[in-house]
Amino acid sequence: MAHVLPYLIIAVGVFLGAIVQGLAGFAFSAVAGALLLHVRPPAEAVPLMMVCSVIVQLATLAILRRTMQWRGSVALIAGGVVGLLPALYLLHHIDTFSFRIGFGLFIAGYAAYMSLRYGRYQIAAFAGIRALLRPDPGAAPVLSADSLGLSARLAPALPSSAVPTPRKWSDTALGFASGLVGGLTAMPGALPTIWCDLQGLSKDQQRGLVQPFIATMQCIALLLLLSHSDIPVRVMTDMLITLPALALGSAVGTILFMRVDDLLFKRIVLVTLFVAGLALAI
């Protein structure tokens, strides 16, 4: 039983990571690594997580292909590829440990702040609805966005068919920063996800823009890893054993993504960012 337990832990970690990535579009390693790194050394856990993450990305790209906006992601991807070059240099010349902690705390802090802000607006909206249901006898009822405690920031997102106006230079700059940060922290999708959240994009718009970028960056990272070292044999064994868990988790996460609405998806993304940020900082 003792020799089976590590494989069960790996399967559970891969399953949970696949669900989160299938649903939110990122953070496989942040979730799976919490378990895998307890039963495998980093030299084996990291390649396994990279391979699994790429498989989930490619599977969800195929399933959600009608949502993907490759044309809108071109500038992001181009900037990300260029940003990887200085990241590879800085990996050997700066204290990446301190940078990871700082960036992780920044992501977690942003997610916590935005979650609290959305919660405050929802409380205000509930209070507005309650006031409408139990109005003051001396006051005339008024039904408006302000009376419900809503703001423009919580207005419904544009339909998923409405593509944001391309801004190639700013998108390229965002891609460069994301590639640079991703090369140092293994989280290339954090900055684009935050940008989409600030823009108020719908879940389909966000997924369509960010996932092609993340998938491309992860494929490049995996190719770089393979070009510098061989994957240990035990990693391939773990990969084959956990394939059913990976496939099931990917299917569950993707189905959940297609069923949740925009507001719930926004909350899920913020929680995922918070967890990923803490995992990076701890």
The first and second tokens of residue 269, run together, are: 């993304």
pLDDT digit string, tens, across residues 230-276 = 788 899 999 999 999 999 999 999 999 999 999 899 999 999 999 99
**pLDDT at site 133:** 53
> Which of 275, 257, 273 lies closest to 265, judged by CA?
257
- How distant is the alpha carbon of residue 281 from its chain centre? 16
pLDDT tens digits along 40-53: 998 899 899 999 99
Q: What is the percent of the chain where pLDDT is above 90? A: 51
| Segments forming the whole domain that contains residue 109 | 5-281
Distance CA 42, CA 59 (A): 25
Number of C-beta neighbours around residue 63 at 10 A: 16
The total number of structural domains in the chain stands at 1
DSSP letters for 234-261: HHHHHHHHHHHHHHHHHHHHHHHHHHS-
pTM of the model: 0.79
Task: Scan for tokens 């337990």, then name that residue.
Answer: 5
H helix and E strand count, the chain: 10, 0
Identify whether the C-beta of residue 80 lies closer than 8 Å to the C-beta of residue 180: no
Under DSSP, the state recorded for 265 is: H
Q: Average per-residue pLDDT in the chain?
A: 83
Distance CA 257, CA 247 (A): 15
